[in-house]
Amino acid sequence: MARINVSNLTFCYEGSFDNIFEDVSFAIDTDWKLGFIGRNGKGKTTFLNLLLGKYEYRGVISTPAVFEYFPYQITKKQMLQCAGDFLYELRADCEIWRVICELEKLHLDADILYRPFGTLSHGERTKVLLAVLFSGDNYFLLIDEPTNHLDQKSREIVKEYLGQKKGFILVSHDRDLLDACVDHVLVLNRHSIEVQVGNFSSWWTNKERLDHFHRDENEKHKSEIRKLEKAAARCRSWADKSEGSKIGYDPIKEHERGNGSRPYIGAKTKKMQSRVKQLEKRIDDEIAQKEGLLKDIENPAELKMMPLKHHKEVLISARGYGIVYRDNTKQGSSAKMCGHPSGGRYEVFQNFNLELRQGERLFLRGENGCGKSSFLKAVLSHSPGGCDGNSNNMMEETGMLEVAGGLIISYINQDTSFLKGGLENFCQERNLEQSLFKAILRQLGMERVQFAKEMEDFSEGQKKKVLVAASLLTQAHLYIWDEPLNYIDVFSRMQIEKLLLQRKPTMLVVEHDVRFCEKIATKVVEIG
Protein backbone atom coordinates (compact mmCIF):
# COMPACT_ATOMS: atom_id res chain seq x y z
CA MET A 1 0.00 0.00 0.00
CA ALA A 2 1.24 3.48 -0.91
CA ARG A 3 -0.16 6.94 -0.31
CA ILE A 4 -0.80 9.82 -2.64
CA ASN A 5 -0.23 13.05 -0.74
CA VAL A 6 -1.45 16.33 -2.18
CA SER A 7 -0.23 19.46 -0.41
CA ASN A 8 -1.15 23.09 -1.18
CA LEU A 9 -2.07 22.25 -4.79
CA THR A 10 -2.91 25.29 -6.91
CA PHE A 11 -3.64 25.12 -10.63
CA CYS A 12 -5.33 27.14 -13.36
CA TYR A 13 -5.27 26.89 -17.12
CA GLU A 14 -3.24 29.41 -19.05
CA GLY A 15 -5.34 32.48 -19.81
CA SER A 16 -7.97 31.57 -17.21
CA PHE A 17 -9.01 34.04 -14.52
CA ASP A 18 -10.03 31.44 -11.94
CA ASN A 19 -8.05 28.67 -10.26
CA ILE A 20 -9.37 25.14 -10.73
CA PHE A 21 -7.65 24.18 -7.47
CA GLU A 22 -6.44 26.61 -4.83
CA ASP A 23 -4.26 25.57 -1.88
CA VAL A 24 -5.78 22.05 -1.81
CA SER A 25 -4.44 19.36 0.53
CA PHE A 26 -5.56 15.75 1.11
CA ALA A 27 -4.22 12.17 1.09
CA ILE A 28 -5.50 8.87 -0.36
CA ASP A 29 -4.30 5.25 -0.32
CA THR A 30 -3.53 3.37 -3.50
CA ASP A 31 -5.39 0.22 -2.45
CA TRP A 32 -8.67 2.10 -2.17
CA LYS A 33 -11.54 1.83 -4.62
CA LEU A 34 -12.04 5.57 -4.82
CA GLY A 35 -15.06 7.26 -6.40
CA PHE A 36 -14.43 10.79 -7.67
CA ILE A 37 -17.52 13.04 -7.46
CA GLY A 38 -18.11 16.65 -8.49
CA ARG A 39 -20.01 18.95 -10.82
CA ASN A 40 -19.01 19.33 -14.47
CA GLY A 41 -16.08 21.71 -14.81
CA LYS A 42 -14.90 21.34 -11.19
CA GLY A 43 -11.66 19.66 -12.28
CA LYS A 44 -12.02 15.87 -12.02
CA THR A 45 -10.34 15.04 -15.33
CA THR A 46 -7.90 17.91 -14.75
CA PHE A 47 -6.80 16.33 -11.46
CA LEU A 48 -6.22 12.98 -13.20
CA ASN A 49 -4.04 14.78 -15.76
CA LEU A 50 -2.12 16.47 -12.94
CA LEU A 51 -1.38 13.03 -11.48
CA LEU A 52 -0.14 11.97 -14.91
CA GLY A 53 2.19 14.99 -14.97
CA LYS A 54 0.60 16.61 -18.02
CA TYR A 55 0.39 20.13 -16.52
CA GLU A 56 2.57 22.34 -14.38
CA TYR A 57 1.17 23.32 -11.00
CA ARG A 58 2.10 24.91 -7.68
CA GLY A 59 2.27 22.75 -4.56
CA VAL A 60 3.28 19.12 -4.12
CA ILE A 61 1.89 15.79 -5.33
CA SER A 62 4.04 13.03 -3.85
CA THR A 63 3.59 9.28 -4.39
CA PRO A 64 5.62 6.21 -5.38
CA ALA A 65 2.65 4.98 -7.43
CA VAL A 66 2.75 4.59 -11.22
CA PHE A 67 -0.45 5.73 -12.95
CA GLU A 68 -2.34 4.32 -15.92
CA TYR A 69 -5.26 6.20 -17.53
CA PHE A 70 -8.52 4.98 -19.07
CA PRO A 71 -9.86 5.46 -21.72
CA TYR A 72 -6.92 4.86 -24.03
CA GLN A 73 -6.82 7.05 -27.11
CA ILE A 74 -7.48 4.89 -30.18
CA THR A 75 -6.16 6.20 -33.51
CA LYS A 76 -7.87 5.92 -36.87
CA LYS A 77 -5.27 3.38 -37.91
CA GLN A 78 -5.92 1.25 -34.84
CA MET A 79 -9.69 1.35 -35.49
CA LEU A 80 -8.99 -0.61 -38.68
CA GLN A 81 -6.69 -3.09 -36.93
CA CYS A 82 -7.44 -6.04 -34.68
CA ALA A 83 -6.98 -5.21 -31.01
CA GLY A 84 -4.45 -8.03 -30.65
CA ASP A 85 -2.17 -6.20 -33.09
CA PHE A 86 -1.90 -2.92 -31.16
CA LEU A 87 -2.20 -3.85 -27.48
CA TYR A 88 1.52 -3.22 -27.01
CA GLU A 89 1.08 0.30 -28.38
CA LEU A 90 -1.39 1.01 -25.58
CA ARG A 91 0.83 -0.47 -22.88
CA ALA A 92 4.41 -1.46 -23.49
CA ASP A 93 4.32 -4.17 -20.78
CA CYS A 94 1.03 -5.65 -21.95
CA GLU A 95 0.93 -9.46 -22.11
CA ILE A 96 -1.82 -10.90 -24.25
CA TRP A 97 -2.46 -13.93 -22.02
CA ARG A 98 -3.23 -11.58 -19.13
CA VAL A 99 -5.65 -9.63 -21.34
CA ILE A 100 -7.43 -12.87 -22.27
CA CYS A 101 -7.81 -13.76 -18.58
CA GLU A 102 -9.41 -10.36 -17.92
CA LEU A 103 -11.70 -10.72 -20.95
CA GLU A 104 -13.12 -13.94 -19.46
CA LYS A 105 -14.12 -11.98 -16.35
CA LEU A 106 -15.85 -9.51 -18.67
CA HIS A 107 -17.81 -12.32 -20.40
CA LEU A 108 -15.90 -12.01 -23.69
CA ASP A 109 -14.07 -14.65 -25.74
CA ALA A 110 -10.47 -14.21 -26.82
CA ASP A 111 -11.45 -14.13 -30.51
CA ILE A 112 -12.69 -10.55 -30.03
CA LEU A 113 -9.00 -9.50 -30.09
CA TYR A 114 -8.83 -10.68 -33.71
CA ARG A 115 -11.73 -8.68 -35.08
CA PRO A 116 -11.23 -5.14 -36.46
CA PHE A 117 -11.61 -2.82 -33.49
CA GLY A 118 -13.88 -0.45 -35.43
CA THR A 119 -16.45 -3.23 -35.96
CA LEU A 120 -16.91 -3.77 -32.22
CA SER A 121 -19.80 -2.22 -30.31
CA HIS A 122 -19.22 0.50 -27.70
CA GLY A 123 -19.57 -2.10 -24.96
CA GLU A 124 -17.11 -4.50 -26.56
CA ARG A 125 -14.53 -1.75 -27.07
CA THR A 126 -14.84 -0.62 -23.46
CA LYS A 127 -14.42 -4.17 -22.17
CA VAL A 128 -11.34 -4.80 -24.31
CA LEU A 129 -9.70 -1.59 -23.10
CA LEU A 130 -10.58 -2.35 -19.47
CA ALA A 131 -9.00 -5.79 -19.89
CA VAL A 132 -5.83 -4.10 -21.13
CA LEU A 133 -5.97 -1.62 -18.23
CA PHE A 134 -6.22 -4.31 -15.53
CA SER A 135 -3.77 -6.75 -17.16
CA GLY A 136 -0.74 -5.15 -15.46
CA ASP A 137 0.57 -5.14 -11.89
CA ASN A 138 1.58 -2.36 -9.49
CA TYR A 139 -0.33 0.41 -11.22
CA PHE A 140 -2.77 2.85 -9.68
CA LEU A 141 -5.52 3.19 -12.27
CA LEU A 142 -7.32 6.39 -13.27
CA ILE A 143 -10.66 5.43 -14.82
CA ASP A 144 -12.61 8.27 -16.42
CA GLU A 145 -16.33 7.59 -17.07
CA PRO A 146 -16.14 4.01 -18.39
CA THR A 147 -19.88 3.43 -18.86
CA ASN A 148 -20.88 6.31 -21.15
CA HIS A 149 -22.80 5.04 -24.21
CA LEU A 150 -23.00 1.50 -22.77
CA ASP A 151 -26.30 -0.39 -22.71
CA GLN A 152 -27.68 -1.73 -19.45
CA LYS A 153 -26.34 -5.26 -19.92
CA SER A 154 -22.81 -3.99 -20.57
CA ARG A 155 -23.04 -1.63 -17.59
CA GLU A 156 -23.96 -4.51 -15.32
CA ILE A 157 -20.97 -6.53 -16.52
CA VAL A 158 -18.58 -3.59 -16.06
CA LYS A 159 -20.08 -2.87 -12.63
CA GLU A 160 -19.58 -6.47 -11.51
CA TYR A 161 -16.02 -6.47 -12.92
CA LEU A 162 -14.92 -3.23 -11.24
CA GLY A 163 -16.50 -4.38 -7.98
CA GLN A 164 -13.91 -7.18 -7.86
CA LYS A 165 -10.97 -4.82 -8.37
CA LYS A 166 -9.16 -2.28 -6.18
CA GLY A 167 -6.46 0.36 -6.51
CA PHE A 168 -8.20 2.91 -8.72
CA ILE A 169 -9.90 6.29 -8.95
CA LEU A 170 -13.25 6.02 -10.73
CA VAL A 171 -14.72 9.20 -12.22
CA SER A 172 -18.40 8.53 -12.83
CA HIS A 173 -21.79 10.22 -12.57
CA ASP A 174 -23.60 6.88 -12.46
CA ARG A 175 -24.90 6.51 -8.90
CA ASP A 176 -25.57 2.78 -9.32
CA LEU A 177 -22.00 2.16 -10.50
CA LEU A 178 -20.46 4.23 -7.68
CA ASP A 179 -22.51 2.43 -5.04
CA ALA A 180 -21.44 -0.99 -6.34
CA CYS A 181 -17.74 -0.34 -6.99
CA VAL A 182 -16.20 2.09 -4.48
CA ASP A 183 -15.31 2.02 -0.78
CA HIS A 184 -14.14 5.67 -0.48
CA VAL A 185 -15.18 8.91 -2.16
CA LEU A 186 -13.16 11.97 -3.08
CA VAL A 187 -15.61 14.85 -3.45
CA LEU A 188 -15.04 18.23 -5.09
CA ASN A 189 -17.51 20.38 -3.19
CA ARG A 190 -18.37 23.92 -4.15
CA HIS A 191 -15.49 25.40 -2.12
CA SER A 192 -13.64 22.48 -0.54
CA ILE A 193 -12.44 18.92 -1.08
CA GLU A 194 -13.26 16.02 1.22
CA VAL A 195 -12.31 12.35 1.46
CA GLN A 196 -14.80 10.01 3.11
CA VAL A 197 -15.23 6.27 3.70
CA GLY A 198 -18.19 4.70 1.89
CA ASN A 199 -19.94 4.87 -1.48
CA PHE A 200 -22.07 7.56 -3.12
CA SER A 201 -25.27 6.83 -1.20
CA SER A 202 -23.59 6.83 2.22
CA TRP A 203 -21.79 10.08 1.38
CA TRP A 204 -24.99 11.69 0.10
CA THR A 205 -26.91 10.66 3.24
CA ASN A 206 -24.17 12.14 5.42
CA LYS A 207 -24.11 15.28 3.29
CA GLU A 208 -27.87 15.80 3.57
CA ARG A 209 -27.67 15.45 7.37
CA LEU A 210 -24.73 17.83 7.60
CA ASP A 211 -26.41 20.34 5.28
CA HIS A 212 -29.56 20.20 7.43
CA PHE A 213 -27.47 20.82 10.58
CA HIS A 214 -25.64 23.73 8.93
CA ARG A 215 -28.89 25.31 7.78
CA ASP A 216 -30.28 25.09 11.34
CA GLU A 217 -27.08 26.56 12.76
CA ASN A 218 -27.21 29.31 10.17
CA GLU A 219 -30.76 30.24 11.23
CA LYS A 220 -29.68 30.31 14.88
CA HIS A 221 -26.76 32.60 14.06
CA LYS A 222 -28.98 34.91 12.00
CA SER A 223 -31.49 35.12 14.88
CA GLU A 224 -28.72 35.91 17.37
CA ILE A 225 -27.24 38.53 15.05
CA ARG A 226 -30.63 40.25 14.73
CA LYS A 227 -31.00 40.40 18.53
CA LEU A 228 -27.47 41.75 19.00
CA GLU A 229 -27.97 44.38 16.30
CA LYS A 230 -31.14 45.62 18.02
CA ALA A 231 -29.36 45.77 21.40
CA ALA A 232 -26.39 47.57 19.85
CA ALA A 233 -28.70 50.11 18.17
CA ARG A 234 -30.42 50.83 21.51
CA CYS A 235 -27.11 51.25 23.37
CA ARG A 236 -25.73 53.45 20.59
CA SER A 237 -28.85 55.65 20.75
CA TRP A 238 -28.59 55.96 24.54
CA ALA A 239 -24.88 56.78 24.37
CA ASP A 240 -25.42 59.44 21.71
CA LYS A 241 -28.27 61.00 23.70
CA SER A 242 -26.22 60.96 26.92
CA GLU A 243 -23.15 62.41 25.18
CA GLY A 244 -25.30 65.27 23.86
CA SER A 245 -26.50 66.16 27.35
CA LYS A 246 -23.00 66.82 28.77
CA ILE A 247 -22.95 70.46 27.63
CA GLY A 248 -25.77 72.91 28.12
CA TYR A 249 -28.91 72.40 30.18
CA ASP A 250 -32.01 74.29 31.24
CA PRO A 251 -31.59 75.18 34.99
CA ILE A 252 -35.36 75.59 35.39
CA LYS A 253 -36.24 72.20 33.90
CA GLU A 254 -33.12 70.45 35.31
CA HIS A 255 -32.77 72.31 38.60
CA GLU A 256 -31.36 69.23 40.38
CA ARG A 257 -28.43 69.07 37.98
CA GLY A 258 -25.26 70.83 39.19
CA ASN A 259 -21.96 71.70 37.66
CA GLY A 260 -20.44 68.40 38.92
CA SER A 261 -22.73 66.24 36.77
CA ARG A 262 -20.65 66.46 33.61
CA PRO A 263 -17.97 63.92 34.70
CA TYR A 264 -20.72 61.54 35.81
CA ILE A 265 -22.47 61.78 32.44
CA GLY A 266 -19.16 61.32 30.61
CA ALA A 267 -18.39 58.15 32.58
CA LYS A 268 -21.89 56.82 31.91
CA THR A 269 -21.55 57.56 28.20
CA LYS A 270 -18.16 55.85 28.05
CA LYS A 271 -19.66 52.76 29.64
CA MET A 272 -22.48 52.70 27.10
CA GLN A 273 -20.02 53.11 24.21
CA SER A 274 -17.96 50.23 25.60
CA ARG A 275 -21.13 48.15 25.67
CA VAL A 276 -21.78 49.01 22.01
CA LYS A 277 -18.24 47.88 21.07
CA GLN A 278 -18.72 44.59 22.93
CA LEU A 279 -21.99 43.96 21.10
CA GLU A 280 -20.41 44.78 17.74
CA LYS A 281 -17.60 42.35 18.50
CA ARG A 282 -20.13 39.64 19.34
CA ILE A 283 -21.93 40.39 16.07
CA ASP A 284 -18.65 40.02 14.17
CA ASP A 285 -17.95 36.73 15.97
CA GLU A 286 -21.42 35.41 15.11
CA ILE A 287 -20.99 36.43 11.47
CA ALA A 288 -17.56 34.73 11.39
CA GLN A 289 -19.12 31.51 12.73
CA LYS A 290 -21.97 31.81 10.24
CA GLU A 291 -19.61 32.25 7.30
CA GLY A 292 -18.60 28.92 5.83
CA LEU A 293 -21.63 27.02 7.13
CA LEU A 294 -23.37 27.15 3.75
CA LYS A 295 -20.37 27.32 1.44
CA ASP A 296 -20.56 23.65 0.38
CA ILE A 297 -24.33 23.23 0.49
CA GLU A 298 -25.85 22.34 -2.86
CA ASN A 299 -28.83 24.66 -3.29
CA PRO A 300 -29.75 23.98 -6.91
CA ALA A 301 -32.33 26.36 -8.30
CA GLU A 302 -35.51 24.72 -9.48
CA LEU A 303 -35.50 24.26 -13.23
CA LYS A 304 -38.51 25.12 -15.34
CA MET A 305 -40.09 23.77 -18.51
CA MET A 306 -43.39 24.41 -20.26
CA PRO A 307 -44.73 21.28 -21.99
CA LEU A 308 -47.66 21.72 -24.34
CA LYS A 309 -50.93 19.80 -24.38
CA HIS A 310 -51.83 18.01 -27.62
CA HIS A 311 -55.40 17.43 -28.76
CA LYS A 312 -54.77 13.70 -29.36
CA GLU A 313 -54.41 11.13 -26.59
CA VAL A 314 -52.08 8.75 -28.51
CA LEU A 315 -49.04 10.59 -29.89
CA ILE A 316 -47.04 7.67 -31.34
CA SER A 317 -48.21 4.24 -32.44
CA ALA A 318 -46.07 1.48 -33.97
CA ARG A 319 -47.47 -1.90 -35.05
CA GLY A 320 -45.35 -4.60 -36.62
CA TYR A 321 -42.79 -1.88 -37.31
CA GLY A 322 -39.27 -2.56 -38.57
CA ILE A 323 -36.24 -0.76 -39.98
CA VAL A 324 -33.96 -2.04 -42.74
CA TYR A 325 -30.88 -0.31 -44.15
CA ARG A 326 -29.98 -0.91 -47.75
CA ASP A 327 -26.29 -0.17 -47.20
CA ASN A 328 -24.47 -0.98 -43.94
CA THR A 329 -21.61 1.44 -44.70
CA LYS A 330 -24.02 4.40 -44.78
CA GLN A 331 -25.70 3.47 -41.54
CA GLY A 332 -23.22 4.30 -38.80
CA SER A 333 -22.48 2.78 -35.43
CA SER A 334 -25.97 3.19 -34.03
CA ALA A 335 -27.24 0.20 -36.00
CA LYS A 336 -25.14 -2.85 -35.45
CA MET A 337 -27.10 -5.24 -37.65
CA CYS A 338 -29.16 -7.88 -35.90
CA GLY A 339 -29.69 -9.93 -39.05
CA HIS A 340 -27.50 -11.15 -41.89
CA PRO A 341 -26.88 -9.34 -45.15
CA SER A 342 -29.18 -10.27 -47.95
CA GLY A 343 -28.87 -8.49 -51.22
CA GLY A 344 -27.30 -5.41 -49.55
CA ARG A 345 -30.18 -5.13 -47.07
CA TYR A 346 -29.50 -5.13 -43.31
CA GLU A 347 -32.29 -5.57 -40.82
CA VAL A 348 -32.08 -3.52 -37.62
CA PHE A 349 -35.26 -4.81 -35.95
CA GLN A 350 -38.71 -6.02 -36.94
CA ASN A 351 -42.23 -6.58 -35.57
CA PHE A 352 -41.85 -3.79 -33.02
CA ASN A 353 -44.98 -2.58 -31.23
CA LEU A 354 -45.29 0.60 -29.18
CA GLU A 355 -47.92 3.09 -28.06
CA LEU A 356 -47.05 6.40 -26.41
CA ARG A 357 -49.92 8.24 -24.76
CA GLN A 358 -49.94 11.82 -23.60
CA GLY A 359 -48.36 12.23 -20.16
CA GLU A 360 -46.31 9.01 -20.38
CA ARG A 361 -42.52 8.93 -20.07
CA LEU A 362 -41.55 5.93 -22.17
CA PHE A 363 -38.00 4.57 -21.99
CA LEU A 364 -36.61 2.35 -24.75
CA ARG A 365 -34.33 -0.44 -23.55
CA GLY A 366 -32.03 -2.71 -25.52
CA GLU A 367 -28.44 -3.58 -26.31
CA ASN A 368 -26.13 -1.16 -28.10
CA GLY A 369 -26.86 -1.23 -31.83
CA CYS A 370 -30.32 -2.78 -31.58
CA GLY A 371 -31.96 0.28 -33.17
CA LYS A 372 -33.08 2.56 -30.32
CA SER A 373 -31.61 5.73 -31.86
CA SER A 374 -32.81 4.63 -35.30
CA PHE A 375 -36.38 4.44 -34.00
CA LEU A 376 -36.13 7.93 -32.47
CA LYS A 377 -34.94 9.33 -35.80
CA ALA A 378 -37.76 7.51 -37.59
CA VAL A 379 -40.28 9.22 -35.29
CA LEU A 380 -38.64 12.58 -36.04
CA SER A 381 -38.80 11.94 -39.77
CA HIS A 382 -42.56 11.24 -39.51
CA SER A 383 -43.31 14.52 -37.76
CA PRO A 384 -43.03 17.96 -39.40
CA GLY A 385 -42.52 19.37 -35.89
CA GLY A 386 -39.39 17.32 -35.32
CA CYS A 387 -36.02 18.12 -36.87
CA ASP A 388 -33.27 15.53 -36.78
CA GLY A 389 -30.68 16.83 -39.20
CA ASN A 390 -29.20 13.33 -39.50
CA SER A 391 -31.92 11.58 -41.47
CA ASN A 392 -30.74 8.64 -43.53
CA ASN A 393 -32.23 8.15 -46.99
CA MET A 394 -30.88 4.59 -47.04
CA MET A 395 -33.40 3.57 -44.37
CA GLU A 396 -36.45 1.50 -45.30
CA GLU A 397 -39.42 0.94 -43.01
CA THR A 398 -41.79 -1.98 -42.68
CA GLY A 399 -45.04 -2.21 -40.79
CA MET A 400 -46.83 0.89 -39.49
CA LEU A 401 -45.60 3.95 -37.62
CA GLU A 402 -48.07 6.77 -36.90
CA VAL A 403 -47.14 10.10 -35.34
CA ALA A 404 -49.87 12.58 -34.33
CA GLY A 405 -50.26 15.52 -36.70
CA GLY A 406 -49.09 18.95 -35.61
CA LEU A 407 -46.80 17.45 -32.99
CA ILE A 408 -44.07 19.82 -31.74
CA ILE A 409 -40.98 17.85 -30.67
CA SER A 410 -37.95 18.90 -28.63
CA TYR A 411 -35.02 16.60 -29.44
CA ILE A 412 -31.69 15.93 -27.71
CA ASN A 413 -29.17 14.15 -29.90
CA GLN A 414 -26.63 11.89 -28.20
CA ASP A 415 -23.96 13.41 -30.47
CA THR A 416 -22.48 16.78 -29.44
CA SER A 417 -19.83 17.16 -32.14
CA PHE A 418 -21.97 19.67 -34.09
CA LEU A 419 -21.83 22.24 -31.26
CA LYS A 420 -19.50 24.97 -32.46
CA GLY A 421 -19.27 28.73 -32.05
CA GLY A 422 -20.67 30.94 -29.29
CA LEU A 423 -23.80 30.58 -27.21
CA GLU A 424 -25.25 33.73 -28.77
CA ASN A 425 -25.25 32.19 -32.26
CA PHE A 426 -26.68 28.95 -30.85
CA CYS A 427 -29.59 30.86 -29.31
CA GLN A 428 -30.23 32.75 -32.56
CA GLU A 429 -30.26 29.54 -34.62
CA ARG A 430 -32.72 27.88 -32.24
CA ASN A 431 -34.80 30.99 -31.57
CA LEU A 432 -34.08 30.83 -27.83
CA GLU A 433 -34.27 33.74 -25.41
CA GLN A 434 -30.57 34.21 -24.59
CA SER A 435 -30.98 35.48 -21.02
CA LEU A 436 -33.34 32.62 -20.08
CA PHE A 437 -31.09 30.07 -21.77
CA LYS A 438 -28.03 31.24 -19.85
CA ALA A 439 -30.07 31.33 -16.63
CA ILE A 440 -30.87 27.62 -17.06
CA LEU A 441 -27.18 26.87 -17.70
CA ARG A 442 -26.33 28.73 -14.49
CA GLN A 443 -28.95 26.70 -12.63
CA LEU A 444 -27.30 23.55 -13.99
CA GLY A 445 -24.01 24.62 -12.42
CA MET A 446 -22.18 26.26 -15.33
CA GLU A 447 -20.06 29.26 -14.34
CA ARG A 448 -20.56 32.58 -16.12
CA VAL A 449 -16.92 32.54 -17.24
CA GLN A 450 -17.81 29.59 -19.52
CA PHE A 451 -20.25 31.71 -21.51
CA ALA A 452 -17.39 33.59 -23.19
CA LYS A 453 -15.93 30.35 -24.61
CA GLU A 454 -16.66 28.69 -27.91
CA MET A 455 -18.81 25.59 -27.48
CA GLU A 456 -16.17 23.33 -29.02
CA ASP A 457 -13.98 24.20 -25.99
CA PHE A 458 -16.64 23.03 -23.51
CA SER A 459 -16.25 19.74 -21.68
CA GLU A 460 -18.55 16.94 -22.83
CA GLY A 461 -20.71 17.45 -19.76
CA GLN A 462 -21.06 21.16 -20.49
CA LYS A 463 -22.01 20.43 -24.10
CA LYS A 464 -24.73 18.06 -22.90
CA LYS A 465 -26.02 20.78 -20.58
CA VAL A 466 -26.32 23.12 -23.57
CA LEU A 467 -28.58 20.60 -25.30
CA VAL A 468 -30.61 19.90 -22.14
CA ALA A 469 -31.08 23.63 -21.44
CA ALA A 470 -32.22 24.22 -25.04
CA SER A 471 -34.74 21.37 -24.78
CA LEU A 472 -36.12 22.56 -21.44
CA LEU A 473 -36.58 26.06 -22.84
CA THR A 474 -38.49 24.74 -25.86
CA GLN A 475 -42.25 24.42 -25.51
CA ALA A 476 -43.17 21.06 -27.00
CA HIS A 477 -45.81 18.33 -26.97
CA LEU A 478 -43.15 15.60 -26.92
CA TYR A 479 -39.57 15.52 -25.62
CA ILE A 480 -37.36 12.97 -27.38
CA TRP A 481 -34.07 12.54 -25.51
CA ASP A 482 -31.33 10.21 -26.79
CA GLU A 483 -28.87 9.46 -23.97
CA PRO A 484 -29.22 12.97 -22.50
CA LEU A 485 -27.25 12.32 -19.30
CA ASN A 486 -23.92 11.12 -20.69
CA TYR A 487 -21.15 13.10 -18.92
CA ILE A 488 -23.66 15.19 -16.90
CA ASP A 489 -22.82 15.39 -13.19
CA VAL A 490 -24.94 13.65 -10.56
CA PHE A 491 -26.21 16.90 -8.99
CA SER A 492 -27.64 18.08 -12.31
CA ARG A 493 -29.17 14.65 -12.89
CA MET A 494 -31.07 14.95 -9.62
CA GLN A 495 -32.20 18.48 -10.59
CA ILE A 496 -33.54 17.17 -13.91
CA GLU A 497 -35.28 14.25 -12.17
CA LYS A 498 -37.07 16.61 -9.79
CA LEU A 499 -38.21 18.83 -12.67
CA LEU A 500 -39.58 15.96 -14.76
CA LEU A 501 -41.49 14.52 -11.81
CA GLN A 502 -43.04 17.93 -11.16
CA ARG A 503 -43.92 18.95 -14.72
CA LYS A 504 -44.74 15.45 -16.08
CA PRO A 505 -43.98 16.07 -19.78
CA THR A 506 -44.64 13.43 -22.42
CA MET A 507 -41.27 11.83 -23.23
CA LEU A 508 -39.63 9.20 -25.40
CA VAL A 509 -36.20 8.49 -23.90
CA VAL A 510 -33.12 6.34 -24.43
CA GLU A 511 -31.04 6.43 -21.24
CA HIS A 512 -28.98 3.77 -19.46
CA ASP A 513 -28.78 5.42 -16.02
CA VAL A 514 -30.62 2.87 -13.84
CA ARG A 515 -31.55 5.31 -11.07
CA PHE A 516 -32.85 7.90 -13.55
CA CYS A 517 -34.99 5.28 -15.31
CA GLU A 518 -36.38 3.96 -12.01
CA LYS A 519 -37.45 7.43 -10.92
CA ILE A 520 -38.72 8.88 -14.22
CA ALA A 521 -40.07 6.10 -16.47
CA THR A 522 -43.79 5.37 -16.47
CA LYS A 523 -43.28 2.69 -19.13
CA VAL A 524 -40.25 0.69 -20.36
CA VAL A 525 -40.30 -1.03 -23.77
CA GLU A 526 -37.70 -3.50 -25.04
CA ILE A 527 -36.49 -3.09 -28.62
CA GLY A 528 -34.29 -5.23 -30.81
Per residue in 364-423, pLDDT tens?
998 887 889 889 999 999 887 555 444 556 778 999 999 999 999 999 998 898 999 999
Query: What is the distance between the alpha carbons of residues 513 and 84, in angstroms, rounded to a whole number?
Result: 31
pLDDT band at 40 (very low <50, low <70, confident <90, very high): confident
Residue-wise pLDDT tens digits, 228-270: 677 777 777 766 666 655 555 555 555 555 555 656 666 666 7
Q: What is the pLDDT of residues 305-348, one digit of tens each?
A: 999 999 999 999 999 999 988 754 444 444 444 444 445 677 88
E-strand ranges in 112-244 read 139-144, 168-171, 184-188, 193-197
Cβ neighbours for 183, distance < 8 A, ≥ 6 positions apart: 32, 33, 34, 197, 198, 199
pLDDT in tens, 482-527: 999 988 999 999 999 999 999 999 999 999 999 999 999 999 999 8
pLDDT value of position 344? 62
pLDDT > 70: percent of the chain: 83
Q: Kindly tell me if the per-residue pLDDT of 214 is higher than 60.
A: yes
Q: Is the pLDDT of residue 301 over 50?
A: yes
pLDDT tens profile 386-399:
554 445 567 789 99
* pTM score: 0.76
Backbone angles phi, psi at 298, to 5 degrees: -80, 110
Cis before residue 307, ω within 30 degrees of 0? Answer: no
| Cα separation, 460 vs 479, whole angstroms | 21
3-190 sits in which CATH class?
A: alpha beta
Same fold, 3-190 and 314-526: yes
State the pLDDT confidence band at 289, using cuts at 50, 70 and 90.
low
Q: Evaluate whether 409 touches 380 at the Cβ level (below 8 Å).
A: yes
- Strand ranges across the sheet with 184-188: 66-70, 139-144, 168-171, 33-38, 184-188, 193-197
Map out the domains of the chain as residue ranges. Answer: 3-190, 207-290, 314-526
Residue 340 confidence (pLDDT): 43
End-to-end CA distance of the chain: 46
Q: Tell me the average pLDDT of the chain.
A: 84
Between β-strands 314-325 and 346-357, what pairing exists: parallel, antiparallel or unpaired?
antiparallel
Give the three-class secondary structure for 356: strand
Fold of the domain built from segment(s) 314-526: Rossmann fold (3.40.50)
